[in-house]
Amino acid sequence: MTDLLRRAYDAREFRSQGHALIDRLANYLERVENQPANPFATPEDSLAHFRELLGGAAGEKEPPTTEQLFDAVINRSVHLHHPAYLGHQIVPPAPLAALGDVAASLLNTGMAVFEMGRPGTAMERVVIEQFAQMLELAPTAGGFLTSGGTLANLTGLLAARAHKLGQHDTPLTKPCLLVNAQAHYCIDRAAHIMGWGKEGIIHVPYDGEMRMRTALIDGLVEQAEARGLMPVAIVGSACTTSTGSYDDLSAIADAAQRHGLWFHVDGAHGGAIRLDPKRKHRAAGLERADSFTMDFHKMLLTPALTTALFFREDRAAYRTFQQRADYLLSNSRDEREWFNVAKRSFECTKRMLSLRVYSLLYAYGPELFRDYVVRVGDLGAELASMVRKKADLELLMEPDVNIVCFRFRPFGRAVGSSALDELNAMIRSDLTTDGAIYLVQTVVNGTTYLRCTIANAFTQTQTLGEMLERIVDTGIRLLEVRQGLGR
Ligand SMILES: *Cc1c(COP(=O)(O)O)cnc(C)c1O
């Protein structure tokens, strides 16, 4: 036993490091507004800093305190808890869920089989049951937690394949799936991973609001069959990532029924809208999905990655993976062996994801999740109405949820479409280097838009108003520079 090993496991050292860290994080939460939402740094700056930090620590005679390390990580991160964080669709986690993560990490009871992850497995079952009810899924619904929407979508589609093809995963006819051309790229990736190739992905065209044109499904299925393909599944987006558009899930469910297709819903971002009484109609038909992905780290207050994969028939989840692993899983064919989660999930060892959600249910109740979803949905609608009132801004579409896309388009000035795209990209880049506000951009039908996700429930109307003014001022300034240059 070396001194070094003893020190690394020393309870007293842990206690003092832990107290210091929690104090720092609490101070951070109290004061996050006093710094830019997005402290800008280039990849080279960041790399140099963390090389130096480690070099410095190695050169010290005394053991380094961890405070400098945690400060560097905290101060140099993009600040999701900042009210001007309006960027990618990841939620500022409720602090209690992060505390649960500390406990889960220290215990490290990797879940695969029940005896290794007893509390985690039981809590996972409760979380799935509670959310199936809160989201008004079918009474037969079940599922499990997994690491991310990307993996959940792949797993749902593997279930579709197992359902349609049984154990013949290299069938004679080429399988394919249908999906909105605006869907998240991970659906295409899943089809490629399954070996279905380019042909195996049929993109259904979308309408002016980026929703799947469901009237085209029948024709596309027939054309695919005529080409010798075997349609296996159809994927609805609830919502799309880029513009937050909900497909008409009821119409897709009807089509799936007509053609005997597995109906998967990618609700990674927006499945949670079912908790919002005013907006849940946008995801009507979700309860008919054979499988459905929902990220808790997008709209449900937990650290990443925490994802539920639900099945309308809980039993269907057991048919996805049927390998044997004698050292790990009993050879029982009992589908209801719910407590050995690795029978259903892609992962073998899995974090205790359930504690993040369970702790919030335990301390605050299900209303917490609803309050958040309603609040950010309301703020999305408010931002859209503020954009509409500004003559120099153009709203892409009335938002369904907390994702709002718009662009700078100066009133009464003739600016060509490629110049407008460039201007909007320059506005975004200007705001990013400045760092006070963090938003992103997207391209829809070849046109560049600024894109905000209201992720922080504490964002105020005032912050949104200041951001829009900044955008217009920056746009006008950049335009004048361009015109000054005679372009
Ligand atoms: C974010 C997102 C994903 C990817 O989920 P991860 O949790 O990042 O793997 C997939 N689909 C949609 C619609 C998303 O918004």
The 3 state secondary structure assigned to the chain is CCHHHHHHCCHHHHHHHHHHHHHHHHHHHHHHHHCCCCCCCCHHHHHHHHHHHHHHHHHCCCCCCCHHHHHHHHHCCCCCCCCCECCCCCCCCCHHHHHHHHHHHHHCCCCCCHHHCHHHHHHHHHHHHHHHHHCCCCCCCEEEEECCHHHHHHHHHHHHHHHHHCCCCCCCCEEEEEEECCCCHHHHHHHHHCCCCHHHEEEECECCCCCECHHHHHHHHHHHHHCCEEEEEEEEECCCCCCCCCCCHHHHHHHHHHHCCEEEEECCCCHHHHHCCCCHHHHCCHHHCCEEEEEHHHHCCCCCCCEEEEECCHHHHHHCCCCCCCCCCCCCCCCCCCCCHHHCCCCCCCCCCHHHHHHHHHHHCCHHHHHHHHHHHHHHHHHHHHHHCCCCEEECCCCCCCEEEEEECCCCCCCCHHHHHHHHHHHHHHHHHHCCCECEEEEECCEEEEEEECCCCCCCHHHHHHHHHHHHHHHHHHHHHHHHCCC
Over the stretch 289-331, which tens digit does the pLDDT of each residue have? 999 999 999 999 999 999 999 999 988 777 777 655 555 555 5
Neighbouring CB atoms inside 10 A of 330's CB total 13
pTM value surpassing 0.75: yes
Atom of ligand 1 nearest to the CA of 186: 10
Measured by CA distance, the residue closest to atom 3 of ligand 1 is 149
**Mean pLDDT value of segment 12-16:** 95
Give the pLDDT score at 159.
93
pLDDT band at residue 167 under the 50/70/90 scheme: low
Q: Assess whether the previous peptide bond of 405 is cis (omega < 30° from 0).
A: no
Determine how β-strand 307-311 pairs with β-strand 447-453: unpaired
Tokens (6 digits) for 224: 């695919």
* pLDDT for residue 346: 87
Confidence of residue 340 (pLDDT cuts 50, 70, 90): confident
Q: Whole-angstrom Cα distance, residue 221 to residue 218?
A: 5
pLDDT, tens digit, for every residue of 374-401? 999 999 999 999 999 999 999 999 999 9
Whether residue 143 has pLDDT greater than 80: yes
Atom of ligand 1 nearest to the CA of 241: 15
Kindly give the distance from the C-alpha atom of residue 4 to the centroid of ligand 1, in angstroms, as a whole number: 41
Give residue 268 CA to ligand 1 midpoint distance, Å. 5
Give me the pLDDT at residue 316, please.
78
CA of residue 149 to ligand 1 center, whole Å = 5
The DSSP bridge partners found for residue 231 are 176
With the most atoms of ligand 1 within 8 angstroms of its CB, the residue from 294, 295, 356 to mutate is: 295
- Cis peptide bond upstream of 305, omega within 30: yes
pLDDT per residue as tens digits for the range 237-253: 999 999 999 999 999 99
Torsion of CA 322, 325, 328, 330, to 10 degrees: 60
> Measured from the CA of 304, which atom of ligand 1 is nearest?
7
Cα separation, 276 vs 449, in Å, equals 27
**What's the alpha-carbon Rg for the chain, to the nearest Å?**
24
Confidence of residue 372 (pLDDT cuts 50, 70, 90): very high
Q: Is the pLDDT of residue 407 over 80?
A: yes
The Å distance, Cα 38 to ligand 1 centre, comes to 22
Residue 328, pLDDT score: 54
> What own/partner pairs with CB < 8 Å and gap ≥ 24 does 365-372 have?
366/130, 366/134, 368/94, 368/301, 369/134, 369/272, 369/275, 369/300, 369/301, 370/134, 370/275, 370/276, 371/457, 372/91, 372/299, 372/300, 372/301, 372/457
Which among 90, 145, 184, 211 is the best mutation to test ligand 1's pocket, defined by most ligand atoms within 8 Å of the CB?
184
Task: Give the pLDDT confidence score for residue 53 in this predicted structure.
Answer: 92
Answer yes or no: is pLDDT of 265 > 70.
yes
Ligand 1: nearest atom to the Cα of 148? 7
User: What are the tens digits of pLDDT across the range 418-457?
Assistant: 999 999 999 999 999 999 999 999 999 999 999 999 999 9
pLDDT above 60 for 335: no
Distance (Å, rounded) from C-alpha 297 to C-alpha 357? 10
Residue 446: what pLDDT? 96
Cα-to-centroid distance, 184 and ligand 1 (Å): 7
Query: CA torsion angle for 272, 273, 274, 275 (degrees, to 10)?
Result: 80
Answer for the pair 145, 128: CB distance below 8 angstroms, yes or no.
yes
20 class by beta-carbon count within 10 Å (0-12 exposed, 13-18 middle, 19+ buried): middle
- Ligand 1 pocket, residues with Cβ under 6 angstroms: 89, 148-150, 184, 186, 237, 241, 266, 268-269, 295, 305, 307
Mean pLDDT of 55-75: 86
Q: According to the model, what pLDDT value does residue 224 have?
A: 97
Whole-angstrom Cα distance, residue 1 to residue 8? 12
8 Å CB contact between 37 and 89: no
Give, for ligand 1, the residue of 88, 145, 147, 150 to mutate: max count of ligand atoms closer than 8 Å to Cβ: 150
Place of tokens 């662009």: 407
- pLDDT tens-digit readout, 20-38: 999 999 999 999 999 999 9
Nearest atom in ligand 1 to the alpha carbon of residue 151 is: 9
Q: What mean pLDDT do residues 182-191 have?
A: 96
Rounded to 10 degrees, the C-alpha dihedral 401/405/410/414 comes to -130
Neighbouring CB atoms inside 10 A of 262's CB total 23
